[in-house]
Structure 1
Amino acid sequence: MTTAAPEPAIETVLLVDDDKVTNLMHGRLIKRTGLIGQIDVATDGVAALDYLQARSDAGDAWPELILLDINMPRMDGFEFLEHYAQLPEEVRCARTLIIMLSTSVLRADHERAEADPNVHAFVSKPVQSAHIEAFVTACQARRGP
């Protein structure tokens, strides 16, 4: 007798980081939790905005969780947030939870991330299983009943 795999708690996460090793580590960690169905990757803020636009154009739901690195080429995490905030309210998804990730120890980076209304939390890399579980719980709370 085979048992069907349980449905993931949330459908999609978008990893926005230019470091392939970090994306691989976070992807494996997310898969091990079994809490998230699909893992998509963008290597900088421009690619992330293009990804979100393509999903909107196709009528697809946005990811419920975005893990956003600060330091990336072309467009860093803070620049992404500036562009994200400019998107029309009807385009931005209120259910999308953005978590800012970094190895930065600069207090200014922490404060800037925490001051942004689109950022749910600032977490030092690497992300741990407990973080993923907490992020998923927060996504489910945003979804509502």
Structure 2
Amino acid sequence: MSKVKNVCIVDDDELFQFVMRQHFERLDLVERVHKFTDGEQALHHIKSHLDNPDELPDLILLDVNMPYMDGWQFMTEFVRLQLPTEKHIRVYILTSSTHESDLQKAREFPTLSGYLVKPIGKNMIREILVGAEQH
């Protein structure tokens, strides 16, 4: 199995970012991990690489509750982007929220690849990465 080239972790919890990076390194399935503490930073990163698809993320792990721009605001802007046609970016909501309102909101974004509740283990991470690698 080849590695996923670019993964973005968008989460204001730096401990969670660290743990996810450790999992990625142990699984040895990711080339680069980009970490952002809010959706605005991640969106800026994506917009700045629209002309270079190889630098765009293949996978985004997105928290819901963050300062400045939360996960839902990010998704609203993300679906409006004119992504290169050859680039498929998988986005997973990865949150501690089990609120019905968040689950309902997730249904409003058919482009989401999944809604996962923290914590997730190595097996789930491997499944996500295998799915991202197949695109």
Does the 8 A contact of 2:53 with 2:87 survive in 1? no
Q: Where does the alignment leave 5 or more consecutive residues of structure 1 unmatched?
A: 1-6
Does the 8 A contact of 1:55 with 1:62 survive in 2? yes
In 2: Cα distance, 1:55 partner to 1:127 partner: 29
CA deviation string 1:48-91 (max 9, x = no partner): 10110122255643111100000000000000000011112x44
| % identity of equivalent residues | 27
In 1: Cα distance, 2:85 partner to 2:17 partner: 24
Query: 43, 48, 65: which is aligned to 2:42?
Result: 48
Residue 56 of structure 1 aligns to a residue whose secondary structure is coil
1:124-135 pair list within 5 angstroms: 124-135=117-128
What is the TM-score normalised by the length of structure 1? 0.84
Q: Which amino acid aligns with 2:35?
A: V
Does the 8 A contact of 1:8 with 1:37 survive in 2? no
Residue 88 of structure 2 aligns to a residue whose secondary structure is coil
Alpha-carbon RMSD: 1.9
Q: CA deviation at 1:127?
A: 2.5
Query: 42, 59, 70: which is aligned to 1:76?
Result: 70
1:1-145 pair list within 5 angstroms: 8-57=2-51, 60-88=54-82, 90-91=83-84, 94-141=87-134, 143=135
Does the 8 A contact of 2:53 with 2:84 survive in 1? no
Does the 8 A contact of 1:11 with 1:37 survive in 2? yes
Residue 104 of structure 1 aligns to a residue whose secondary structure is coil
Q: How many corresponding residue pairs? A: 135
Residue 25 of structure 1 aligns to a residue whose secondary structure is helix
Residues 107, 29 of structure 1: CA spacing in aligned structure 2 closer, same or farther, 3 A cutoff?
same
**Comparing 124-133 with 53-62, which one deviates more in the overlay?**
53-62
Q: Which amino acid aligns with 2:42?
A: A
Q: Which amino acid aligns with 1:27?
A: R
Q: CA deviation at 1:42?
A: 1.1
What is the TM-score normalised by the length of structure 2? 0.89
